[in-house]
Structure 1
Amino acid sequence: MAGTKQIQTLSVDASTEHLAEVRDFVAAHAEDIGLSDKVISDIRLAVDEAYTNIIKHAYKNTPSEKVDIEIGSDATQLWISLMDRGESFDPSTYSEPDLMKRIKQKKRGGMGVYLIRKVMDQVQYNRKGKKNEIRMVKKL
């Protein structure tokens, strides 16, 4: 296992109907490489948030669009990429939410990027041609 690269892919429609399938796909790979339940839970949360953001923001709730998920690992890290062809996200326009203010105002939503960055070790947004990619890394 050490040193070998394993890559698995999944392509789904951009719909919350596929949320469980996407979560389970990622969790299965994380389990296969022996990650703890806590780490798997964090990874599922990050993927859940990233996938939901693609549905809502990149595709504006157009379920006929596709999201490609790629997960891979080697001896040092696990990485997950979600790719779409929707509107791109510019991370330079993102500012971290004021948590206390959001709690006081009982605001829901708007926490996805914050949560992803909290639970993953690295998060990158790339745009290649018409394709967006969010790449999330968990060090092993």
Structure 2
Amino acid sequence: MTSLKLPATMKNLDSMISYVLDKAKKFNLCDKKLLYKLRLVCEEVLVNIINYAYQDLNEVGYVEIACDIDTKDKKITLKFIDEGIAFNMLDYEDPDLTLPLSERKAGGLGIYIIKTIMDKIEYHREDGKNTLILIKSIANFIE
């Protein structure tokens, strides 16, 4: 699985998202709704890494992104690796969307969106690295 590794800065956000979308388009995954969902998920993950993963360090960290499209099993796998503080989105409860906005806790909606869009989410931390793996079925978008 090839990957892209760049400094975790907002300046690189578009390049990181384009890496995933360009790869999807190479496999003729051109459905606008699917591409929008992939863009949204990538943006949510990457902005969180950029804004929070390295906030306690005095230097810019890196984020590595890998994208694998499996035409046999009809799935797309996104992998995000960073060396920032440990963060497992699976530990966070979904927000209570039935509450009025004024009564909801701040934050967490992006995580909820990712959980809603993706079919499978895995997280592990090893050797000081966070690895987030997101899997989405593309059976409806590939022949």
For the pair 1:21 / 2:19, whether they are aligned, the reply is no
Matched-pair identity in %: 28
Instruction: Point out where structure 1 has 5 or more consecutive residues left out of the alignment.
Output: 1-6
Question: 2:92–2:108: 8 Å Cα contact kept in structure 1?
Answer: no
- How many residues were matched structurally? 134
Structure 1 CA distance for aligned equivalents of residues 26 and 99 of structure 2: 40
2:78 and 2:45 map into 1 onto residues whose CA distance is: 10
Sort the Cα spacing of 1:130 and 1:137 in 2 relative to 1 into closer, same or farther, 3 A: same
1:69 matched residue in structure 2: 65
After TM superposition, give the deviation of residue 21 of structure 1 in Å.
0.8
The answer to whether residue 54 in structure 2 is matched with residue 59 in structure 1 is: yes
How far apart are the structure 1 equivalents of 2:100 and 2:7? 31
Instruction: State the Cα distance separating 1:70 from its structure 2 match.
Output: 0.7
Partners of 1:20 and 1:69 lie apart in 2 by: 13
Task: Find the counterpart in structure 1 of residue 141 from structure 2.
Answer: none
CA distance change for structure 1 residues 18 and 100 in 2, over 3 Å: closer, same or farther?
farther
Partner of 1:47: 42
TM-score w.r.t. length of structure 1: 0.84
Distance 2:95 2:117 in 1: 16
Specify the alignment match of 1:130 in structure 2: 128
The answer to whether the 8 Å contact 1:14/1:61 transfers is: no
Q: Secondary structure at the match of 1:101?
A: coil
Shift of 1:27: 0.6
SS for the counterpart of 1:68 is: strand
| 3-state secondary structure, aligned to 1:95 | coil
What SS does structure 2 have at the residue aligned with 1:69? Answer: strand
CA distance in 2, matches of 1:71, 1:41: 16
State whether residues 44 and 110 of structure 2, in contact with CA within 8 Å, keep that contact through their aligned partners in structure 1. yes
